[in-house]
Every structure is written in structure tokens, then in C-alpha cells.
Amino acid sequence: MSLPDFQTIMLPLLQIFADEREHSNHEYLDRLAKHFTLTDQELNEMIPSGKQTTFNNRIGWAKTYLSKSGLLEMTRRSFYKITERGKQVLENNPARIDMKYLKQFPEYIEFKERESGRRHRGDIGTTDETTQKTPEEILEDAFQEIRDTLAQDLLALVKQSSPAFFERLVVELLVNMGYGGSRREAARAVGQRGDEGIDGIIDEDRLGLDAIYIQAKRWEGSVGRPEIQKFVGALMGKKARKGIFITTSSFSPDAMNYVSSIDYKVVLIDGKRLAEFMIDYDVGVTGSVTYQLKRADTDYFTDD
């Protein structure tokens, strides 16, 4: 089955504690994985930040809501135990425990009122009873939407720029990615004319142990296989084996299949990927607002 949302996890998670024993994070993660018959691929799925698996994140939030409602309590670092209220809930044999069900508990109402206060102040990460996503997943989705819009805006600006500006942009991006040594050294290398299919050369590393040949073109429509073949032919003429073809548009499937079938190492960077690299390596963008997510450091509260 697919990954359960965090509200679906609440009842099976509480049932694990029905034996009134302490259970660790690792133990109930394994038991829930078996309960939902999840595959290794599903268990290894990561939230967009790559900091945590999606399943672990959802278990964490299910546990948070159960704890805030007084159904579970932390007994020591990474260990939880069912409360008297939690046992009473299980004795009532509910078909499902979710945010709507938890509204009967005053501690939950207080917790949600604090969360509602954050929403009114414009904070990010609040949830309502209809959502299937954790606050972190909501935040990740909002971040990705903002990032996608920024990438589209950047690409539009790049397409409006002059060929000379585009070449300088490519230089700065590659230098920020760690190629070419200093910006001055890269600028001397890129932009050399006279070689068909080659727009420039840049060192692979700061020591200049190998060279990478570059084709950088603002392009309308899809770049096809003939253009890539011409570029590879230019590489052969230089006895080079590595190249980067950068365009503001896209590559045809035939062009991508051709690159995957040759011995030469040629990287194709289309407009979408170019804009994403610009964001990742701070080219043409400036910081706006930073949100830092923090968690409690349980080691700090552990007695020696």
C-alpha cells in the first residue's frame, strides 16, 4: 500500500502502546512499517529537504498530536508510554483517531489554539483537520512552489539577456559550482571564437588537470540531435572527452538518447535545470526570508 498520512498512523501507533510498556522510536517505526506492509522503496522515500524519511516524519507528527492530547507521554529520551487517558481511548475501540477525534481533549484544543494564533500572525506550517500532510510537508510544498516560480522568472530574464551577458552568467555559474579556478581565469577561457561547436573552455578543477568544453546557447524550441552531434564532433577535433551543452530551451528525446549512447561525457543542461542551478549556487538571486526549523535536543536534557 502507499504511505499512510499522519492521521491514519495515529490509531495503530497508540495500539502499539496498549501493553502499557515503554517503546522506543525505532521499535514502533518497525512495527508500523509491518502493519502497513510498506516496501523498502516506500520506507526510504524522503521529504523534499532530504533530512528525514517521509514515513518517519509522519510518525513523528502522529506521536506529537497524541502526546499533545494526553494519550502518550515521554518517559525518557526517545521512549514513550501510554497514559490512563490513552488506555481509556483504546477501551472505547474507536474506528479511527484523527484531528477531529482529538478535539474532545482540552489539551489538544489548547495546542490548536496556540497553532491558530501562529496562523493569524502569518507563521507557516499550521494544519487543519482535512489535511493529510504534516506541517513540515506543508512547508516543503510551499517552499517548492516558491522555488518553481522563481526558476520560471529567472529563465524568462535569461532569455531576454544578450548573448554576451549569457556567456558571463555561464562563467559565474560554473565558477560557483567549483570549476575554472578564479572568475578571471574562467573569463579568459570562455568565449573563445573560431571553433565550430565550441563556445569556450573551462578547467575542471582549480589545478587545471582536465578541460571541459562548453556550448552555451539561448535557444527557441527544442535542441535536436544534429546540434549535439556537431558539438561532439568539435570535441573529437580537440581530442577532448568532456563537454557541457547549456541551453535556455530543452533537448529532444533523440538528443538525450544520443548522449547516453556515446563514449564521450557530455552533460546537457536545459533551461529548467539552468535556473535551478542558478538558485542553488546564488547566481542572479538574492536572499529574501529564511526559516530555520529546530527540534528539541533530547541529549541536553539527559542526566549523566
pLDDT tens digit sequence for 201-260: 887 776 767 788 888 888 888 999 999 999 999 888 888 888 999 999 999 999 999 999
187 within some domain: yes
Residues 172 and 90 in one domain: no
Is residue 59 in some structural domain?
Answer: yes
Categorize the per-residue pLDDT at 302 as very low, low, confident or very high, splitting at 50, 70 and 90: low
Question: How much is the pLDDT for 189?
Answer: 54
What digits encode the pLDDT tens for the residues 67-86? Answer: 989 999 988 877 899 999 99
Q: Does residue 297 belong to any structural domain of this protein?
A: no
Residue 93 lies in a domain: yes
78, 59 in Cβ contact below 8 A? no
In the predicted structure, residue 92 carries a pLDDT above the cut 90? yes
**The domain containing residue 175 runs over which residues?**
156-280
Residue 147: phi, psi to the nearest 5? -65, -40
Task: Say if residue 109 is in the same domain as residue 44.
Answer: yes
- As for how many domains the chain has, the answer is 2
Mean model confidence pLDDT for the chain:
84
More confident call, 139 vs 301: 139
pLDDT at 36 over 50: yes
Asked if pLDDT for residue 289 goes beyond 80, the answer is: no
The pLDDT of residue 124: 41
Is the same domain home to 201 and 239? yes
Give the pTM. Answer: 0.64
Asked if residue 245 lies in contact with residue 235, where contact means CB atoms within 8 angstroms, the answer is no
**Does residue 141 fall inside a structural domain?**
no
Q: CA dist 189 to 168, 170, 183, 209, 298, Å?
A: 11, 12, 10, 14, 52
In angstroms, the CA 253 to CA 270 distance is 12
Residue 281 CA from chain centroid, whole number: 15
Q: Is the pLDDT of residue 128 over 70?
A: no
Within this chain, do residues 181 and 275 fall inside the same structural domain, yes or no? yes
**Which of 29-33, 194-198, 204-208, 244-248 is the least confident region?**
194-198
- Residue 285 domain flag: no
pLDDT of residue 122: 43
Element (H, E) at 116: helix 106-120
Whether 128 and 52 have beta carbons less than 8 Å apart is answered as no
Beta bridge partners of 265: 242
Q: Is residue 192 part of a domain?
A: yes
Residue 294: per-residue pLDDT:
76
Find the CATH number of the domain harbouring 190.
3.40.1350.10
Please report the pLDDT score of residue 182 as a whole number. Answer: 64
Q: Which of 89, 97, 75, 66 is nearest to 24 (CA)?
A: 75
Q: Check whether residue 180 and residue 263 sit in a common domain.
A: yes
Q: Is 269 inside a domain boundary?
A: yes
Same domain, 79 and 122: yes
Mean pLDDT of 17-28: 91
Q: Are residues 127 and 163 in the same domain?
A: no
For residues 22 and 45, give the distance between their C-alpha atoms in angstroms, rounded to a whole number: 28
